[in-house]
């Protein structure tokens, strides 16, 4: 990854943060970005499927703190629409993270339920934005 590519993906992600953090209520949180130029090791729940981890959010909800880790080489390959979807998906994980306290962490399907909810809320946010944009035209 060249310096220009590295700088460009950071700028694209920071532009999404400027666009969405206030709307999602995350502007009151302490938000940090960790830029991984050489990729991110595969997260445990992705290992079985051999999925590449493109990003993750380390959340400390009692303190309204999140550290997003961004796999810059993987994300640089994404078009703007897919990058926004990934960014929103990670933000929604931040919003629902507290609910992890209510389930059995030893359950193999617990994260699957969270992923389904996060995916649907991410889609709902994008569809709402698209509908509002169409109405304004």
Nearest CA to 83 out of 135, 6, 10 is that of 10
> Structurally, how many domains does the chain consist of?
1
**Rounded-to-integer distance, Cα 88 and Cα 132, Å:** 17
- Enter the pTM of the model: 0.85
Structural domain harbouring 67: 3-136
H/E stretch holding 96 reads helix 80-96
Q: What confidence category does residue 75 fall into, taking pLDDT thresholds of 50, 70 and 90?
A: very high
Check residues 13 and 134 and name the one with the higher pLDDT.
13
Give residue-wise pLDDT tens across range 98-115: 887 776 666 666 777 788
Question: Rounded to whole angstroms, what are the CA distances from 106 to 19, 29, 71, 137?
Answer: 36, 29, 27, 49
Pairing of strands 55-60, 65-71: antiparallel
Q: Work out the average pLDDT over 44-50.
A: 60
What is the C-alpha to C-alpha distance for residues 90 and 94, in angstroms, rounded to an integer? 7
């Amino acid at each position: 990854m060249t310096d220009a590519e590295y700088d460009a993906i950071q700028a694209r992600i920071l532009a999404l943060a400027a666009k969405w953090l206030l709307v999602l209520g995350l502007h009151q949180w302490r938000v940090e970005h960790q830029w991984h130029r050489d990729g991110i090791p595969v997260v445990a729940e992705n290992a079985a499927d051999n999925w590449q981890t493109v990003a993750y959010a380390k959340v400390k909800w009692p303190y309204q703190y999140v550290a997003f880790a961004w796999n810059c080489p993987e994300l640089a390959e994404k078009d703007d629409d897919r990058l926004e979807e990934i960014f929103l998906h990670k933000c929604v994980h931040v919003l629902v993270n507290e609910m992890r306290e209510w389930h059995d962490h030893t359950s193999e399907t617990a994260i699957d339920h969270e992923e389904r909810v996060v995916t649907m809320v991410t889609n709902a946010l994008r569809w709402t934005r698209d509908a509002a944009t169409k109405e304004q035209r």
